[in-house]
Structure 1
Amino acid sequence: MLRSAFCILLLASAAAPAHAAQPSFCTTRIDGKDVPMAYDPKEPSLRDNYSLREIVFTQWGRDTCPSYVVLRSLTPGLTDEERAPFCLRHDKKTESIIGYDLGKRDAYGRCDKPARTACQRVNATRNAAVALSSAAARGAAGGLRALPDGSGAVILSGSQVHISAVLSSIGGAAAGLAASPAIVAGAAVSVVAVGGAVYACRDRAR
């Protein structure tokens, strides 16, 4: 699933018009393997999300891709503001990125505190995200709250039983999420609705 996002990014760069800026190629570590990527070095958003410390890190380290580029490839379809709640989950054993999680980012775009869960996009319609956001705005579901980071994301955390009960109480497309494998498989999870998409963050053993 993650590999397809990288392939799309590379193909998009290859198909860019001749007058477009030449892409910069880089390498990042994903699940213990080197993955080639490409990006536009003159993109304004890159400068806004690229710290001086990370610039030095990518010049001398094994990973040469900006964390912004990596996180964007893992969360396609989201704007910079919408992906604000997420950070890159880094595994020290393999020295590679193993996904993304909820939390603040450090200077390298990684989770500022050790991540305990991993997030994945749930195969659900936009209607489910709208239903969750609407319920949060109305205060119609206990424990469902908006994140105060300007991303527009709403989050619901707790046990799998609690999550399923709240989703069912909202009804409609949101209720359909209760049976999602990404939610059912986790003992303690968080469900995040942002940018018309729904993400489930659950324990992931390494």
Structure 2
Amino acid sequence: MRRLTLSLFALTAALTATLTAAPALAEPVFCTARINDRDVVMAYDPAEARQDDSFTRRQALAARVGRHDCPSYVVLRSLTPELTDEERQPFCLRHDKASDSVIGYDLGARDSLGQCRAASRSVCRRVNQTTAAANALTGAAARRSVQGLQALPDGSGAVILNGTGSAISGALASLGGAAAAVAASPVLLTGAAVSVVAVGGTLYACREED
């Protein structure tokens, strides 16, 4: 009995030491983002924000003094929940100065606030989340079987096809299967310039707003 008592005591001491040494979970920080003229409350891990390269000093200052204080990567995550941070690299937040509101995301480099560095009227929308369709475009880029289809050199694994909606619909239809099904998407049935991006098993179409 004495040996059992000592064993239980030792086990209890070990568990206590382990729990004491474990780091405490950070309390989430709540913030507000202005998206499409609406204030949206979000939450994020402050420790993660300090480690994120995109959360610049300028953005941290803006978060402290502004009414809309969510880090840009948190807002972009909320708009593209199906992607990882690496897969989000091609995208930036499109900001409307008149309404001081995020109105979507687009392709392009980000500034220090996570917004699109170059002015654009284009907005990206998810058109398909079938892995087979995205893989068809990725495979076609590797084989160079579709003219103008190329991989983006940013480490995201994304491939992009630029052209008119009708030309892109034709290219997708030529691949058959799931890609051909996307060819009939309303966002592509237009003569306007469109960029189709395949990343993370998802297809996005980026074109100017009507």
TM bracket (short chain): 0.7 to 0.9
In structure 1, the residue matched to 2:8 is none
Q: How does 1:50-129 map to 2 (within 5 A)?
A: 50-129=55-134
**Structure 1 stretch 178-187 or stretch 47-56: which is displaced more?**
178-187
CA contact (8 A) 1:24 1:38 kept: yes
Matched, 1:172 2:177: yes
Q: Residue 47 of structure 1 is aligned with which of 42, 45, 52? A: 52
Deviation, structure 1 residue 184: 2.1
Structure 1, residues 63-96: CA drift from partner, whole Å, max 9, x if none? 1000010001111121111100000000011110
Task: Name the SS of the counterpart of 2:188 in structure 1.
Answer: helix
Aligned counterparts of 2:49 and 2:97: Cα–Cα separation in 1: 31
Q: Which moved more, 1:151-160 or 1:121-130?
A: 121-130
Aligned match of 2:7: none
Structure 2 distance, partners of 1:203, 1:24, is 35
TM-score, normalisation: structure 1: 0.86
Q: What do the CA deviations read for 1:17-63 (whole angstroms, capped 9, x no partner)?
A: xx642110000101112111111111268523211111011111221
1:123–1:28 Cα change, 3 Å: same
Report if aligned partners of 1:146, 1:155 keep a CA contact under 8 Å in 2: yes
Q: What do you get for the CA RMSD once the two structures are aligned?
A: 1.5
Larger radius of gyration: 2
Q: Which AA in structure 2 matches 1:126?
A: T
The answer for the alignment partner of 1:4 in structure 2 is none
Q: Distance in 2 between matches of 1:59 and 1:148?
A: 34
- Alpha-carbon displacement from aligned partner over 1:77-119 (angstroms, at most 9, x marks no partner): 2111110000000001111000000000000000001122101
| Unpaired stretches in structure 1, ≥5 consecutive residues | 1-18
Query: How many angstroms apart in 2 are the aligned matches of 1:116 and 1:142?
Result: 25
Q: Give the whole-Å Cα distance in 2 for the aligned partners of 1:28 and 1:89.
A: 13
- Any residues of structure 2 matched to 1:141-180 within 5 Å, and which? 141-180=146-185
Match of 2:124, SS state, is: strand
Q: Deviations over 1:162-193 (max 9, x none)?
A: 11111111121111111112222562211100
Any gaps of 5 or more consecutive residues in structure 2?
1-23
Residue identity in the other structure for 1:204: E
Match status 1:201 vs 2:168: no
Aligned residues: 187
